[in-house]
Amino acid sequence: MNFFSILRLIRTHQWVKNLFVFVPLMFSMHLFEWNYLSNTILAFLIFCLASSAIYVINDIADIESDRAHPVKKNRPLPAGDISVPIAIIIASLLLVIVFLSMMYFNYKFILMVVGFVALNVLYSFWMKNIVILDVFSIAAGFSIRVLAGAFAIQVPISSWLILTTMFISLFLGVMKRRSELAMVNEYLKTNPEGSEQNGAQSRKVLSQYSLNFADQMATIAATGVIVCYALYTVAPRTISVFGTERLIYTTPFVVFGIFRFMYLEYITGKGENTTRTLATDLPMILNVLFYGIITVVIIYNLI
């Protein structure tokens, strides 16, 4: 065991998902106020440590099935780089830090953190094996992050924005399942002798999905993202709060992001690891960057 094995175990590269905590801050018009920003940063760090603890717990629960997976077998636990007792200690320490740190915030934020941990523990041991519910569990985790971000700085958040978050997380979850299914199917074509071990055991719920079913769910979720976000930008409350109708001009960036991710999955087959996809695809990086800049410029009336 070494330091880099621990970093791989707690998956620090996945912390980018917790940036959803910053969504309420950006749309609250308090982005440049230190009291609000510092609270959001602390909330972000709490969710980073909580999600890392969950990743460790999930890897402990999945250690046998991960050994049968063509990619996940290289993770620290199934590969034997870190023992299960050490992994339990690491997860326990992370959770202790989380529960001590969250006491700084109000009870609503605390409930979000407790709910996030409980939801993901249930996911690790039960819900991930139930078709559709597994994807909704992933989506709920992102929605909790957004709500926690709002509670951390005690600001209201638009229902349309919450719905947008739900649909985009459903979309990413469905696309991940589709990518996993496609990868397993391809693996079985080239390794028919490993069908029983490396197919069904790698993720049991995949046997209840099909590529066609996943495609239809992805289309519905993608439509939900675009419609809800567009309605958010033109909602009377949004226009009243920001004092402008120009937020609608950020909608094309959302549409491009959805289409680009679908392209990466359907054409290039890079949709399984969402974080890696978003961090390595230049058009996606530029799209997110321009979206963020233009949104801040519009909301904070910088021009």
Helix (H) / strand (E) containing 256: helix 251-266
Domain boundaries, the chain: 1-157, 158-303
Query: Do residues 277 and 264 lie in contact, with contact meaning Cβ atoms separated by under 8 Å?
Result: yes
Task: Please indicate whether residue 181 or residue 168 has the higher confidence score (pLDDT).
Answer: 168
Q: pLDDT tens digits, residue range 149-166?
A: 999 999 998 999 999 999
> Nearest CA to 160 among 224, 86, 90?
224
Confidence of residue 79 (pLDDT cuts 50, 70, 90): confident
Query: 200: which DSSP letter?
Result: I
Verdict on whether the full-model pTM lies above 0.85: yes
- pLDDT of 121 > 60? The answer is yes
N- to C-terminal Cα separation, the chain: 53
| 1-157 under CATH 1.10.357.140, yes or no | yes
| DSSP string across 37-64 | HHHHHHHHHHHHHHHHHHHHHHHHHTHH
The confidence score (pLDDT) of residue 189 equals: 66
- The C-alpha torsion from 11 through 19 and 303 to 28, rounded to 10°, is -170
Across 154-183, average pLDDT: 89
- pLDDT of 196 > 60? The answer is no
Confidence of residue 199 (pLDDT cuts 50, 70, 90): very low
| DSSP string across 119-143 | HHHHHHHTGGGSTTHHHHHHHHHHH
Q: Rounded to whole angstroms, how far apart are CA atoms 28 and 295?
A: 12
Q: What are the CA-CA distances from residue 3 to residues 9, 31, 51, 81, 143 (Å)?
A: 10, 35, 19, 11, 32
